[in-house]
Amino acid sequence: MALITRVLKRVIIGTPMSSEAAAHTLLQKRLALPIFASDALSSVAYATQEIMLVLTVGGTAYLYLAPWVATAVVVLMAAVVASYRQLVRAYPTGGGDYEVASKNIGKSAGVVVASALLVDYVMTVAVSVSSGVDNIISAVPSLSDKRVIMAVGFVAILAAVNLRGLREAGLAFAAPTYLFATGVFIMIATGLFRLIVGDKPVAESAHLHPVAHHGYGSLSFFALMFFTLRAFSSGCTALTGVEAIANGVPAFRPPKARNAQITLAAMGAIAVTMFAGLTVLALISKVHITDPTTNSCGFSNFVGPCKDAQQRTVIAQVAASVFGGHHSVGFFFVQATTALILVLAANTAFNGFPLLGSILARDRNLPAQLNNRGDRLAYSNGIVALAIVAGGLIWIYEANVTKLIQLYIIGVFTSFTLGQTGMVRHWNRTITTERDPAERSRIKRSRAINAFGATLSGVVLVIVIITKFTHGAYLVLIAMPILYSIMRAINKHYTRVSDELATEDTGLMLPSRNHVIVLVSKVHKPTLRALAFAKATRPDTLTALTVNVEDEATRALQTEWERHDLPVPLTVLESPYREVTRPLIDYIRKLRTDRPRDVVSVFIPEYVVGHWWEHFLHNQQALRLKGRLLFQPGVMVTSVPWQLASSTDLAKRPIRPDGPKVPPTPPRVDASEDTSVRSG
């Protein structure tokens, strides 16, 4: 069974990659564009539709507002893209809005942005995949009852591809992204050419007339403003994914910031052109649409059974009108590439979510396991977590884009607003120390761009909350504070544990035990206690042993070791594939081979926790290592426990009369690999 599992893992994920190969996974601009911009580019496939869906609520009388709403979305998109170009130049480390808000507004603001982005990434997967399935059904209506199964299946496929690594995902997704853009541009050019020569395209729904919902027949001025703002907030879905490039700057080839800025500008230009062109064609061809997941019964002059008349999406209707019907080659090309790019647009989240998760884990806001790289150098735990949550959301909402999209925009504009506000504060602080006139002029220009972006994003955030609150957006306003509270609680726990384990230069107290090897990951109280026990046993050889799975962490450990001037040399085992157990077992086996009559004793420092949930916040690598060592002949394993405050409090609790005479042993979590041991 284990062999089958390993073979299956290699088939899906591929062979492990050495840590030294990380530099070879950096992306050129032509690969970075489909990886980071697929969400933003694909959003045009449903942004126009969302505007028209809202305006159709009032009947055809209000479709005249569509060009103005679309223009406002274009202006907003241009402002946001320009703002993020300034952010990329100032903060090229990949933290994006989270890093900007944390450093310039405060850690709490950074966690708010992080909670918003995590929600946004989950919704990106759910909305993009569900919209892609909609377009597949537009081409093949008989698949309608397989909507949810198809969507969940696509999420699983995307997760598997991303587990193979960032570069492999880029190679897989590059062609569909460029084919989609090419198809849309050809469709726009063809439609405008037909308009110029007098052969205006006509949509299949042009002869249908939407029935105005009750109360929308004649709106007052303020009601009309609210109605227009609601359509605008729906159209702002076109901006989703714009922040992905700012979060992914470290994945670019040098010069990283410059290449990211160029890619961001290219993404903005392509997305604006496609969105504007598709909106123009939809209005020219007189597309009328209600909820495409239901049917055409929302039209006053519809004739026929509803169950056989499921509507096609806006982009499908435009493609059919431009290329001569839904049996034309052009129609199927646009639909195939649209469906593919919408499904693959979720890849933006599969890249951004794990990277953000690793940064949050590094800053102790999420469990440390999210900072682990897998066999293919991807943050595999984050990829799997995203797939599970997004798949569950798709299942709950039955892959309905119109329902899911109500949960979508709040997280996006929360991060936009706080990120750009943080940038304004960054420029205000920078300009006070800058003396070069040219540089001061550039800073002022950047500050003005970010200030405009922050103001506009803040206004849109208020509009989105007001107009979408009763349509499901309130769920996001509940989810974000919950995520915020969880992350703050995790941060407090890690901080408390770190403070508790911090050590002073107090020397070693020698007890009376013997050992040969002490496993080390960090210089703290549990490590010093294990070394003290080891030294007190007066061994023939005493080795402090660590495994190098991350060069930076290992160098920091060596520096700290030298600073404490410990009387035991530190031995470092190299692990190019980020494995911990195998190098240690090989080292001990060699020691046993060289000295077959000796007994090898391995001391593993660990600490005891008092709450079950603390067990999930710390790695369990040494528990697996102990299991392996117990089967090695001539090897003894000694645990050196260190009781945390939570376990001490548990031991002091009074025993209930009806309870056991001895308190149950709380779960023990290894401290030797709490922060620096990371296994693939």
Mean pLDDT, to the nearest integer, of 336-354? 82
Q: Which residue has the higher pLDDT, 650 or 95?
A: 95
C-alpha to C-alpha distance for 490 and 485, rounded to whole angstroms: 9
In a domain, 677, yes or no: no
Q: Is the pLDDT of residue 645 over 60?
A: yes
pLDDT digits (tens, 9 = 90+) for 177-217: 899 999 999 999 999 999 999 999 998 888 877 666 666 66
Same domain, 460 and 515: no
Same domain, 477 and 527: no
Same domain, 180 and 295: yes
pLDDT digits (tens, 9 = 90+) for 254-301: 888 899 999 999 999 999 999 999 999 999 998 888 755 444 444 544
The alpha carbon dihedral of 195, 201, 207, 211 has a sign of: negative
Q: Is the pLDDT of residue 621 over 80?
A: no
Q: What is the pLDDT of residue 675?
A: 38
DSSP structural state of residue 638: E
Same domain, 402 and 434: yes
Mean pLDDT, to the nearest integer, of 237-243? 79
Domain span at 658: 500-670
Same domain, 478 and 514: no
Helix (H), strand (E) at residue 544:
strand 543-548
Q: Which residue has the higher pLDDT, 48 or 35?
A: 48
DSSP one-letter string for 320-343: HHHHTSTTSHHHHHHHHHHHHHHH
Same domain, 296 and 349: yes
- In which band, very low, low, confident or very high, does the pLDDT at 441 lie, cut at 50, 70 and 90? very high
Q: CA nearest 229: which of 452, 93, 112, 62?
A: 62
Grouping H, G, I as helix, E, B as strand and the rest as coil, residue 18 is coil
Among residues 490, 514, 549, the one where a domain terminates is 490
Q: What is the pLDDT of residue 582?
A: 85
pLDDT digits (tens, 9 = 90+) for 409-418: 788 889 889 9
Ramachandran assignment for 135, one of left (phi > 0), alpha (psi -120 to 50 degrees), beta (any other): alpha
pLDDT digits (tens, 9 = 90+) for 119-134: 888 988 888 888 888 8
C-alpha to C-alpha distance for 392 and 152, rounded to whole angstroms: 8
Tell me the CATH number at 33.
1.20.1740.10
Residue 614 has φ and ψ, to the nearest 5°, of: -65, -25
Q: What is the pLDDT of residue 680?
A: 31
The alpha carbon dihedral of 325, 329, 332, 333 has a sign of: negative
- In which band, very low, low, confident or very high, does the pLDDT at 304 lie, cut at 50, 70 and 90? very low
In a domain, 508, yes or no: yes
C-alpha to C-alpha distance for 468 and 219, rounded to whole angstroms: 19
Same domain, 504 and 486: no
Same domain, 523 and 391: no
Q: Is the pLDDT of residue 667 over 50?
A: no
Number of domains making up the chain: 2
C-alpha to C-alpha distance for 386 and 160, rounded to whole angstroms: 12
In a domain, 680, yes or no: no
In a domain, 157, yes or no: yes
C-alpha to C-alpha distance for 483 and 261, rounded to whole angstroms: 31
Grouping H, G, I as helix, E, B as strand and the rest as coil, residue 600 is strand
Same domain, 54 and 118: yes
Residue 641 has φ and ψ, to the nearest 5°, of: -80, 150
Same domain, 437 and 546: no
For the record, the structure tokens of 102 come out as 């944390």
C-alpha to C-alpha distance for 170 and 356, rounded to whole angstroms: 19
Q: Model pTM?
A: 0.68
Same domain, 25 and 82: yes
Q: Which residue has the higher pLDDT, 590 or 490?
A: 490
Grouping H, G, I as helix, E, B as strand and the rest as coil, residue 659 is coil
DSSP structural state of residue 145: G
Ramachandran assignment for 472, one of left (phi > 0), alpha (psi -120 to 50 degrees), beta (any other): left
The one-letter code for the residue type at 295 is N
DSSP one-letter string for 250-272: GGBPSSHHHHHHHHHHHHHHHHH
Using an 8 Å Cβ cutoff, are 285 and 206 in contact?
Answer: yes
Q: What is the pLDDT of residue 339?
A: 81
Same domain, 210 and 61: yes
The alpha carbon dihedral of 430, 432, 434, 438 has a sign of: positive
Using an 8 Å Cβ cutoff, are 260 and 34 in contact?
Answer: no
Q: How many CB atoms lie within 10 A of CB 443?
A: 19
C-alpha to C-alpha distance for 87 and 16, rounded to whole angstroms: 34
SS3 content of the chain, % helix, strand, coil (to 5): 65, 5, 30
